[in-house]
């Protein structure tokens, strides 16, 4: 029973670590550049709050940040004068960071699993009586 709970815990940790990482470019871009990239963006407003959007669109002269809420697409109106900076997704760095997390999580999971198995074997060996000839 003890081995199963540790295995489940290790599996859950591994699963959470496999979540993809998102890295944004350091250099801010204009709102028109953000629209043409059609990528995820993070917007820092003049009050220093940050908002993440799947992309930015312009509809009838109005800018919108697109998010998903409860499985539905939602257009959040953006006021250009409230925007301090816009940074777009850096796909290459995001992929490398995700790969690094996966490799690190895999190594950690293997180490945890080997420690659990080693402890389990040690504990089971203590119960074996070796009798002399």
pLDDT tens profile 22-59: 778 889 999 999 999 989 999 999 999 999 999 999 99
CB 59 within 8 A of CB 77: no
pTM of the model: 0.60
User: Cβ contacts of residue 28 below 8 Å, gap of 6+?
Assistant: 85, 86, 87
Listed in sequence order, the residues at least 6 apart from 92 whose beta carbon sits closer than 8 Å to its beta carbon are none
pLDDT for the residue numbered 7? 67
Whole-number pLDDT of residue 15: 65
């Amino acid at each position: 029973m003890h081995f199963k709970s540790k295995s489940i815990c290790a599996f859950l940790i591994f699963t959470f670590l496999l979540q993809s990482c998102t890295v944004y470019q350091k250099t801010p871009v204009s709102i028109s550049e953000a629209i043409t990239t059609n990528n995820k963006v993070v917007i820092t407003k003049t009050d220093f709050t940050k908002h993440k959007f799947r992309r930015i669109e312009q509809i009838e002269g109005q800018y919108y940040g697109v998010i998903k809420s409860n499985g539905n697409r939602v257009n959040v109106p953006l006021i250009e004068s409230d925007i301090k900076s816009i940074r777009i997704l850096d796909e290459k760095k995001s992929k490398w960071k995700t790969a690094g997390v996966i490799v690190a999580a895999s190594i950690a999971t293997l180490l945890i699993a080997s420690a659990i198995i080693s402890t389990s074997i040690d504990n089971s060996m203590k119960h074996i009586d070796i009798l002399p000839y």
